[in-house]
Amino acid sequence: MNTSTSTDARSAIASANRRFMDAFGRGDAAGVARLYTSNGQLLPAHSEVVEGTPAIERFWRGVMDMGLSEAVLESLEIEGQGDTAYEVGRYTLRAGGQVADAGKYVVIWRHDAGAWKLHRDIWTTSRPAASE
């Protein structure tokens, strides 16, 4: 792997994650959705695949409308080669200053139109399942 490509991807992905957190904190679902490729996909638990910018915007708007007001992303591993990179990390979601969820994620990134964008985004909570 080309080290400079990997370093460039790492820096650009860190910047994109900051834009994601900033947009989320502003309640800007459209701004979050613009960080994904046009055929990007979310793979949330207990749901079908969410694909494309309009659907991704609707998904994040729904999350924000539930009262979630802050997303904190922490990259643990980023590797890139060519126009593709992957990231493994941890997330924390807050509502009214309280932790609402925390877990881990994997994102496949694509270099698209001069920018690194989320292409496939899957996450899962680290909280125990609720007892039935």
CATH number for 110 = 3.10.450.50
Domain housing 42: 3-125
In the three-class reduction of DSSP (H, G, I as helix; E, B as strand; rest coil), residue 21 is classed as: helix
Q: Look at residue 104 and tell me whether its pLDDT is greater than 80.
A: yes
Largest CA distance in the chain: 50
In a domain, 43, yes or no: yes
- Round to whole Å and give the CA distance between 53 and 28: 13
In this prediction, residues 122-130 reach a mean pLDDT of 89
Under the banding of pLDDT at 50, 70 and 90, the label for residue 84 is: very high
Under the banding of pLDDT at 50, 70 and 90, the label for residue 130 is: confident
**pLDDT per residue over 2-58, tens digit each?**
444 567 889 999 999 999 999 999 999 999 999 999 999 999 988 999 999 999 999
Do the Cβ atoms of 78 and 86 come closer than 8 Å? yes
pLDDT the model gives residue 131: 64
In a domain, 131, yes or no: no
Type of residue at 44: P
The count of domains in the chain is 1
Tokens of 41: 């996909």
* Helix (H) or strand (E) run with residue 58 in it: helix 53-65
pLDDT the model gives residue 128: 85
Of 64 and 128, which is predicted with more confidence? 64
In a domain, 93, yes or no: yes
